[in-house]
A and B are shown apart, each in its own frame.
Chain A
């Protein structure tokens, strides 16, 4: 889990070009949007693109549910794991 969170932090920094920030500077429970890291809706879109590319997440549009997953690095990690588990399950059946 910690590795995944670290990965996600690196991805956020890379995708959003957050200069002067290291992965360790981001608290996994910190709010990513609004207060906290202070990201906005365009960032959400960019982050969604990066997550799709990197983890193959199925994010079609930024719905309220997606926004919930985007709350913090921790919730994102849970989201990634959850989709992986589901996809893994599907693979096993196939």
Chain B
């Protein structure tokens, strides 16, 4: 544990001077001493940078001759910083592409997690050149493979804070770190391999107009390829220790990165458009296999669930094994695809067949809104994709975490009207409750998942599910009581080549009498759990809660 926190800043610059004074001012406003490393800039820029040298105010400009590359420049900065007794070094690009407003947040994180590498994750505006964007995505995929983890979402952002003690060890052990544009990724992966926690923080990134990038399309891409080759073999060598670190205890689902985040889904959606469903699933199979092999936690949750189902309702093919597990994972991949098919608009409406929908028709006729409880089983997204426009406008989806926003962003890219109203609820307070109540009065259909437990799991109720008590959220029923509106369950499951939509009323209104509230909540939760069990037993491979459903908070760690 690093106890001290004495950060400084390093600005590597090769022919960038225009934005540097502003960057220095922002860094100094945060009390950071600054090292500007002039990496062999041309005479004019050299003079401009040199004029910033101001040792009394802790601004040092150091010249490297000839140009050695970004990695070498930052590495030189590390040496200067360590020699001067600093414990942490903030690295920021000299061209002004990084949003200085993120400085306080990065520094706060670094102060709180002194052993960790704090890195910016870029949110790009429209100014990013397409070629760079694709290149970045390829790198992400490589890094995921090299670290066997999705923990590093962006390895190429040069806006970060390093714990110098870990950096010093890395260099002392003589590990190769790319000296040019391959530097940012390689040092991060190598630190990750050494067990340095990588904490990400979103930062805005703009490619300033008239900016000349020092990215050498051929040379740097070759270097990056060579780096990934080095890292890939490095990964193979370290495989046991990396996998060892991966088999961490199960975490609460809200902290789980839902596997295959925004970028991953995006690529698959594009492939679907170009190649179609069948080809996509075939291409996906190795990736699914990879996730199956490396997703220890998800794999064990899957097999636990499948065994429970098998115990209650033995299938013809005997006890579930690896093959069933793989099919379960494939089904998840297929679900993602189906959703896109629905949104891209290539799925005929008759793909969804009405099951029990009398109650839905009643709800449609009501001017007043309703509450719909859904589950991560089957494909509820499709149900909403195929609702008529007017009904879809009524939907208001309550979501727990940010990844749902990623998902929406993705859908919006494909179809503007897919911009579903979502509302993030972590805490249902009077403000949110009033807002929802007003919307229901105006006809909104509030949709909430009944099979995920809130992070603050004090409001759960244990009810029997597949033969054992499992924690269910009380949220939907408390919300139902507050909204004072009809409550329905909605399930949409795949059966062969089509989907069946079932909507059933759970209650005309939820009444939670004072004095016996817990009992009343339990009764409603039991009804939901029974319906969920009904569908889960019939469609076990369409169960998409890949975490220990019966003990979601067990051995909880926030790594």
Q: Report how many residues on chain B are interfacial, defined by Cβ distance under 8 Å.
A: 15
Tell me the smallest distance from the CB of B466 to a CB of chain A, in Å. Answer: 29
Measured CB to CB, the nearest residue on chain A to B521 is A42
With A45-B428, A53-B434 already in contact, 5 other A-B pairs whose C-beta atoms are closer than 8 Å: A45-B482, A48-B433, A59-B429, A59-B431, A61-B429
Most buried by A among B429, B431, B481, B482: B429
A42 to B429, CA, bound (A): 10
A61 to B512, CA, bound (A): 21
Q: Which B residues are CB-close (under 8 A) to A59?
A: 429-431
| Cβ-based interface call for A13 (8 A) | no
| Cβ-based interface call for A49 (8 A) | yes
CB of B512 within 8 A of CB of A60, answer no
Secondary structure type dominating chain B contacts: helix
| Cβ-based interface call for B190 (8 A) | no
Q: Which B residues are CB-close (under 8 A) to A60?
A: 429-431
Given contacts A45-B482, A46-B482, contact A40 B514 (CB under 8 A): yes
| Cβ-based interface call for B517 (8 A) | yes
CB contacts under 8 Å to B, within A29-67, are: 38, 40, 42-43, 45-46, 48-49, 51-53, 59-62
Interface flags for B415-456 (1: CB within 8 Å of A; 0: not) read 000000000000111111110010000000000000000000
CB contacts under 8 Å to A, within B499-523, are: 512, 514, 517
24 contacting pairs across A/B (C-beta < 8 A): A16-B514, A40-B514, A40-B517, A42-B481, A42-B512, A45-B429, A45-B478, A45-B482, A46-B482, A48-B430, A48-B433, A49-B433, A49-B482, A51-B430, A52-B434, A53-B434, A59-B429, A59-B431, A60-B430, A60-B431, A61-B432, A62-B427, A62-B429, A62-B430
Measured CB to CB, the nearest residue on chain B to A40 is B517
CB of B430 within 8 A of CB of A52, answer yes
Size range of the chain A interface in the assembly: 10 to 19
CB of A43 within 8 A of CB of B514, answer yes
Tell me the smallest distance from the CB of A38 to a CB of chain B, in Å. Answer: 8
CB of B478 within 8 A of CB of A61, answer no
**Which B residues lie at the A interface, using CB under 8 A?**
427-434, 437, 478, 481-482, 512, 514, 517
A43 to B481, CA, bound (A): 11
Tell me the smallest distance from the CB of B464 to a CB of chain A, in Å. Answer: 24
A43 to B478, CA, bound (A): 11
Measured CB to CB, the nearest residue on chain A to B458 is A41
CB of A42 within 8 A of CB of B430, answer no
Those 6 A-B pairs whose CB atoms lie nearest each other, nearest first: A61-B429, A48-B430, A60-B431, A59-B430, A49-B430, A61-B427
Given contacts A42-B512, A61-B429, contact A49 B434 (CB under 8 A): yes
Q: Which A residues are CB-close (under 8 A) to B432?
A: 61
Q: Which A residues are CB-close (under 8 A) to B514?
A: 16, 38, 40, 43
Secondary structure type dominating chain A contacts: helix
A33 to B341, CA, bound (A): 52
| A-B CB contacts (within 8 Å), total count | 44
CB of B482 within 8 A of CB of A52, answer no
A52 to B431, CA, bound (A): 8
CB of A42 within 8 A of CB of B433, answer no
A73 to B191, CA, bound (A): 57
Option from A40, A43, A45 in Cβ contact (under 8 Å) with B433: A45
A45 to B425, CA, bound (A): 15
Measured CB to CB, the nearest residue on chain A to B518 is A40
A32 to B427, CA, bound (A): 22
A60 to B427, CA, bound (A): 10
Q: Which B residues are CB-close (under 8 A) to A40?
A: 514, 517
CB contacts under 8 Å to B, within A1-47, are: 16, 38, 40, 42-43, 45-46
Most buried by B among A40, A59, A61: A61
Q: Which B residues are CB-close (under 8 A) to A38?
A: 514
Most buried by A among B430, B432, B512: B430
Most buried by B among A16, A51, A52: A52
A46 to B478, CA, bound (A): 11
Tell me the smallest distance from the CB of A42 to a CB of chain B, in Å. Answer: 6
Given contacts A49-B434, A49-B437, A53-B434, contact A42 B517 (CB under 8 A): yes
Measured CB to CB, the nearest residue on chain A to B513 is A17
CB of A45 within 8 A of CB of B517, answer no
A82 to B521, CA, bound (A): 37
Q: Which A residues are CB-close (under 8 A) to B478?
A: 42, 45
A20 to B468, CA, bound (A): 42
A46 to B431, CA, bound (A): 11
Tell me the smallest distance from the CB of A20 to a CB of chain B, in Å. Answer: 12
A46 to B433, CA, bound (A): 9
CB of B429 within 8 A of CB of A48, answer yes
A43 to B428, CA, bound (A): 13
Given contacts A42-B512, A42-B517, A49-B437, contact A61 B430 (CB under 8 A): yes
Q: Which B residues are CB-close (under 8 A) to A46?
A: 482
CB of B434 within 8 A of CB of A61, answer no
A48 to B428, CA, bound (A): 11
Measured CB to CB, the nearest residue on chain B to A51 is B430
Measured CB to CB, the nearest residue on chain A to B429 is A61
Q: Which B residues are CB-close (under 8 A) to A48?
A: 429-430, 433
Tell me the smallest distance from the CB of A50 to a CB of chain B, in Å. Answer: 9
A80 to B390, CA, bound (A): 42
A46 to B517, CA, bound (A): 14
Measured CB to CB, the nearest residue on chain B to A17 is B514
Tell me the smallest distance from the CB of B446 to a CB of chain A, in Å. Answer: 16
Q: Which B residues are CB-close (under 8 A) to A16?
A: 514
A43 to B513, CA, bound (A): 11
CB of B512 within 8 A of CB of A45, answer no
Tell me the smallest distance from the CB of B211 to a CB of chain A, in Å. Answer: 42
